[in-house]
Amino acid sequence: MSAVTSSLSKHQENNLLSLFSYARLHLLYKASIHGFTAAAFHGRCDQQGPTVIVAYNAAGFVFGAYTSKDYARSGAAVSDGEAFLYSIRAEKDKPLRVGCVSGKPAFTDGGPGPNFGDLVFLHEDKPAVQSNPGNCFIFQEAEMHGNDLALIEFEVYRVEGLGDLLEKPWRNIQWTSEKKQQLMTSIQNYLPEIKAVNQARVLLVGPVGAGKSSFFNSINSAFRGNMTCQAITGTAGTSVTTQVPAKVNFFRAYTIKAGRRGGTLPLILCDTMGLEENADTGLNVDDVVSIFKGHMKDRYQFSSCSSILEDSPGYQKHVTLNDTIHCVAYVIDTCKVSLLSEKMLDKLTAIRKKANQLGIPQILLMTKVDEACPLVAKDLKNVYRSVYIQKKARQLSDFLGIPLSYVLPVKNYSEELELDQNTDILLFMVLEQILNYADSYFENQITDDQDGSNGPDKYLELSFYVDCCHIHKL
């Protein structure tokens, strides 16, 4: 499934954002993809809260309308003191902003395209605008759209306010070199609760482009002391796995070394294809269960036609606790929390239920926090003071039924050439929590032979559920 991307240039986006105070734009609707019709517009933009229309014409104008109210097809004339029209041109340093005339409605909330009275978008279900200024908004047509009313693109974005900084952080972090060293030492000295297990195995699961491979590369870089790119990463709408045959639709189990010639950490990060909305694309739930149970060998190549079977090449029949997954880390792009579809949430929920049934602890990583909030981009130490990041953490907790204490913001290395202490501290904090949760898995395993020589049949698996107060014996 191809990604739906914004047509705004960085300059245009910055100009548009300058009309708001601390806001983020989330693309809801793109007419060239979804259709230049009122039905397509309402299907994606109704009941979305504050939104801004972005219309493009061949004359180089980017113009539109903002309203803080919902579209609901009520048929009513809606008053909105915060509504405005705007126009952006390359030759102008600042965008044109036109407020609504006092006492006049901002728009008519009907079934056709968005109707701001003086500008009617998607007029007659066409890539066109009807312009008749002087009633609710007063502007010169040449300045607003250059008298070019044919559209080459039409988009609608949800406008999300970022709020300010909390007076006190919602988690207390020590941003010191001593803390970084303490975390590194704790991770390097970790020993699984069961002696038969050598390393904690962690599975990274998340939508395409969420940052799974980047998370591994960032951890690997932080421990090696220099930037690495062992896992291939990408940002396209379909998994890199399907674009790059070398990385492919492979299951990978990565080890991490402390330093270029250092010892291996007691941790394995397992990377997979990205999740996609449709049932027949991306990683499927059946393959995830096979990974949970340790049946999938490193470098197994996923099939787009079927799940792994017992007679498939790469299927591992005889497994021990060294092969099973001990903790699941869901990886979600913070910038796209509000855009997670019902299909994606259903797929994540299905995986979560399977993990619960197998007694596997789960944690949720919020990536790209610096891209999601300018206050965090300015200073990463604001991550636990950002009202916006806290809001997104709570939303993810609610969406997936994961306790807020299991939701951790993180920043991956992306364009940097040098390591950063604060970035490393966030990464190491995640690893420390992952290992703590892996211990919970080990503690729920009962074995008669701690050396593991009798294999997994000697283990009695216990299933626990986050939302229950007892342990259910399988």
* Distance (Å, whole) CA 268 – CA 19: 46
Structure tokens at 383: 């991550």
* Distance (Å, whole) CA 246 – CA 355: 29
Ranking 168-177, 272-281, 437-446 by mean pLDDT, the lowest is: 272-281
pLDDT, residue 244, reads: 40
Closest-CA residue to 251 (of 307, 220, 291, 281): 291
- Please return the burial class of 458, using the count of CB atoms within 10 Å of its CB with bins 0-12, 13-18 and 19+: middle
* Distance (Å, whole) CA 207 – CA 343: 11
Over residues 186-234, the pLDDT tens digits come to 999 999 888 889 899 999 999 988 999 999 999 999 999 888 876 666 5
Ranking 116-130, 164-178, 229-243 by mean pLDDT, the lowest is: 229-243
pLDDT, residue 231, reads: 63
Ranking 14-23, 88-97, 298-307, 327-336 by mean pLDDT, the lowest is: 298-307
pLDDT at 409 over 70: yes
Ranking 261-265, 434-438, 445-449 by mean pLDDT, the lowest is: 445-449
* Distance (Å, whole) CA 461 – CA 457: 10
pLDDT at 474 over 70: no
What kind of fold does domain 177-473 have according to CATH? Rossmann fold (3.40.50)
| Three-class DSSP labels, 371-424 | HHCHHHHHCHHHCCCEHHHHHHHHHHHHHHCCCHHHEEECCCCCCCCCCCHHHH
The mean pLDDT of 335-348, rounded to a whole number, is 89
Residues with Cβ within 8 Å of 395's Cβ and at least 6 positions away in sequence, in order, are: 337, 338
pLDDT, residue 454, reads: 42
**Average per-residue pLDDT in the chain?**
87
Residue ranges of domains in the chain? 10-161, 177-473
Task: For residue 260, give Cα distances in angstroms to 213, 257, 268, 279, 423.
Answer: 20, 7, 17, 41, 20
pLDDT at 440 over 80: yes
pLDDT, residue 302, reads: 77
pLDDT at 449 over 80: no
* Distance (Å, whole) CA 20 – CA 384: 23
Instruction: Look at the chain and count its residues.
Output: 474
Check residues 437 and 444 and name the one with the higher pLDDT: 437
pLDDT, residue 298, reads: 85
* Distance (Å, whole) CA 16 – CA 131: 21
The helix-helix angle for 212-224 and 421-443 (nearest 10°) equals: 110
In what helix (H) or strand (E) does residue 266 lie, and over which residues does it extend? strand 264-271
Contact 18, 86 (CB under 8 A): no
Residues with Cβ within 8 Å of 224's Cβ and at least 6 positions away in sequence, in order, are: 257, 258, 259, 260
Instruction: Work out the pLDDT band at 471, boundaries 50, 70, 90.
Output: very low
Contact 88, 16 (CB under 8 A): yes
Over residues 301-336, the pLDDT tens digits come to 877 667 777 877 778 888 899 999 999 999 999 988
pLDDT at 472 over 70: no
Contact 211, 336 (CB under 8 A): no
Ranking 161-165, 284-288, 453-457 by mean pLDDT, the lowest is: 453-457
Ranking 173-187, 387-401, 432-446 by mean pLDDT, the lowest is: 432-446
* Distance (Å, whole) CA 368 – CA 370: 5
